[in-house]
Structure 1
Amino acid sequence: MTLDVLHFIDNKGGNAEEIRESQRKRGLSVELVDEVIQMYTDWVKLDYDAANLSKQVNAVQKEIAAKKKAKENADELVAKKKELDAQVIAKRAESKEHEHKMRQKASTVGNLVGTGVPVSLTEDDNKTIRTWHPENKEVEKKSNILAHHEVMLRLDAIDLERGAKIAGHRGYFLTNDGIDLNQALISYGLTSCANAATRRSSLPS
């Protein structure tokens, strides 16, 4: 899930500097945050202009109604309203297109980096938070076995190339037996919960 546009806007409860700092930690563009903020400002103005034009349409409509009630010619006002209607449609379309571009740009900013995360552009500075292994047993390290992703690749159970195109580095799609394995693990987990009389819950798909 990406950051909502309002996270960039200080007077809407957001914190732009927090996002800038997160971008610095990632080694990514800080200017991108300011671009989103400027696009939001421009979008608010476009939305205001569209609302203002709508008010003008309503005002002219009232004048037309008054003219017709008095049985006076209202052709000029009708023409004016028609022109204003076209301006409203154009301005709303411009506002909607700008909003789409703004949200699209905002979606390129990653989620906030946690305060406890080591700042590094490589994995060399990763910290071990904690380790675990069964009590009273030694952990046997094997060097002559394949990593899990290598096994999945050999089984054609995973597609890393397409995953990276869609979700970036480390993104992947399960394929063939990989899908079956995933479903089997889900089924096993749900069955285990049922056997343990644990209440199961799930997000809607």
Structure 2
Amino acid sequence: MIDLRLLREDPDRVRASQRARGEDVALVDALLSADERRRSSGVRFDELRAEQKSLGKLIGQAAGDERAELLKKADQLKADVKAADAERDAADAETQELQLKLSNLVHPDVPVGGEEDFTTLETHGTIRDFTAEGFDPKDHLELGQLLGAIDVERGAKVSGSRFYFLTGVGALLELALVNAAMAQATAAGFTPMLTPALVRPQSMAGTGFLGQAAQDVYHLDKDDLYLVGTSEVALAAYHMDEILDADRLPLRYAGFSPCFRREAGSHGKDTRGIFRVHQFDKVEMFSYVTPEDSQEEHRRLLEWEKQWLTSLELPFRVIDVASGDLGSSAARKYDCEAWIPTQGKYRELTSTSDCTEYQSRRLQIRVREGKKVRPLATLNGTLCAVPRTIVAILENHQQADGSVRVPEVLRPYLGGREILEPVTK
């Protein structure tokens, strides 16, 4: 959530952020009004309580008719205090409810617009010319079937559409990717974490995933637990309700977990293969830093993602995501999109978001600097979303006979294997 003091001091900035996101600007004025009622009712309650205490002292010193009159006044004052307390609680609850609905402030350098209004910051690698090589590229599903690596038919039989099995070298390729990604993260100073895939509502709400993203979240009604769509949720809530000493920052974690997404708004999109699925595994980077360091940390996370994709020898570009395509918690987001040959376009493989103080305020995570305690900043960055990375590797490193060249970084995790050979013709 955003700082209410900032809202009061610069409401136009908050309105502009909401407008850039394409979200409800009226929410800003509703929150300002609720906050004013909260503060004024709090002052009114404090005044009445002070008057009540003073009256109590007078009653103790009075007698006869004067005491009777003061007791009568005390009864009325008691009712007034109770009403003021209820008004204060109602205004506070309304303020909190509206504050939780308000998205993070968009960074001023973020391009304004919708999904297609991003800015391309840089491109890396060379896109292969398969025509010049004398063959038409196969898509990842055909390659996966040739390699005995992907089985979507039995995935659908067992669990429904957008589920799959990774088999044989497909399963080994996932394990290689996870181990290689964790090795890179550990070398960069991240603490490896295996995180829960089920979290409580306060963890999910605290990270901002029960707002605009709620439609993509799986909820277990009987247990009131949520299946995470990213280990970001568990990593953000790891220090919930804690005060961290400044000398511990930055704190960096690399979490591995299964992830679950309903993909509610993706009917008809990416229905072939394993690019858009309901369950997948992912290695996620997460950082806790001081607010002053968040932009620099954001650039560091992006560099680690670029290092990873470069090590996989994939052509990719980096985009600055437009304001209308940001998640509610992100002030700014960079995506790394790999080239997918059979689609003829770049597709998102990793992303990194600067959430500034938005999540830490909701989760009550603060930093102690001497005698001062204040919210800190949180950032997240996908290092390896496994299925999409497998898609990019198979399609970009395929050969004419249906075999796939293994990037050097993965070979130690695949027993030195340099080529994935077809098992069927």
* TM-score calculated relative to the size of structure 1: 0.64
Question: Structure 2: which 5+ residue stretches go unaligned?
Answer: 130-136, 142-151, 156-160, 166-196, 198-203, 218-226, 230-256, 260-278, 285-359, 366-425
How much has 1:22 moved relative to structure 2?
Answer: 0.8
Give the number of equivalent residue pairs: 167
Give SS of 2:140's match.
Answer: coil
- Is 2:88 aligned against 1:99? no
Aligned-residue Cα RMSD (Å) equals 3.9
Bigger CA radius of gyration: 1
Correspondence for 2:16 among 21, 28, 46: 21
Correspondence for 2:210 among 158, 166, 170: 166
> 2: CA distance between counterparts of 1:139 and 1:8?
47
Instruction: Name the residue aligned to 1:130.
Output: 122
Give SS of 2:258's match.
Answer: helix
> 2: CA distance between counterparts of 1:85 and 1:46?
16
List per-residue Cα deviations over 1:157-192 (Å, max 9, x = no partner): x9xxxx9983424854448x8269759x57xxxxxx
Q: 1:73 to 1:86 in 2, by over 3 A?
A: same
Alignment of 1:1-205 (within 5 A): 2-10=1-9, 15-67=10-62, 74-120=67-113, 122-133=114-125, 138=126, 144-145=139-140, 153-155=162-164, 166-169=210-213, 171-172=216-217, 173-174=227-228, 178=258, 185=283
> 2: CA distance between counterparts of 1:29 and 1:167?
13
Asked if structure 1 preserves the Cα contact closer than 8 Å seen for 2:101 and 2:211, the reply is: no
Asked if structure 2 preserves the Cα contact closer than 8 Å seen for 1:22 and 1:113, the reply is: yes
Give SS of 2:111's match.
Answer: coil
> 1: CA distance between counterparts of 2:35 and 2:50?
23
Q: 1:143 to 1:40 in 2, by over 3 A?
A: farther
Question: Structure 1: which 5+ residue stretches go unaligned?
Answer: 187-202
How much has 1:55 moved relative to structure 2?
Answer: 2.1
Amino acid corresponding to residue 5 of structure 1 in structure 2: L
Amino acid corresponding to residue 3 of structure 2 in structure 1: D
Q: 1:42 to 1:73 in 2, by over 3 A?
A: closer
Q: 1:143 to 1:80 in 2, by over 3 A?
A: farther
Question: Which is richer in strand?
Answer: 2
List per-residue Cα deviations over 1:42-99 (Å, max 9, x = no partner): 222211211121122122112112115xx88623322321331232122112111111
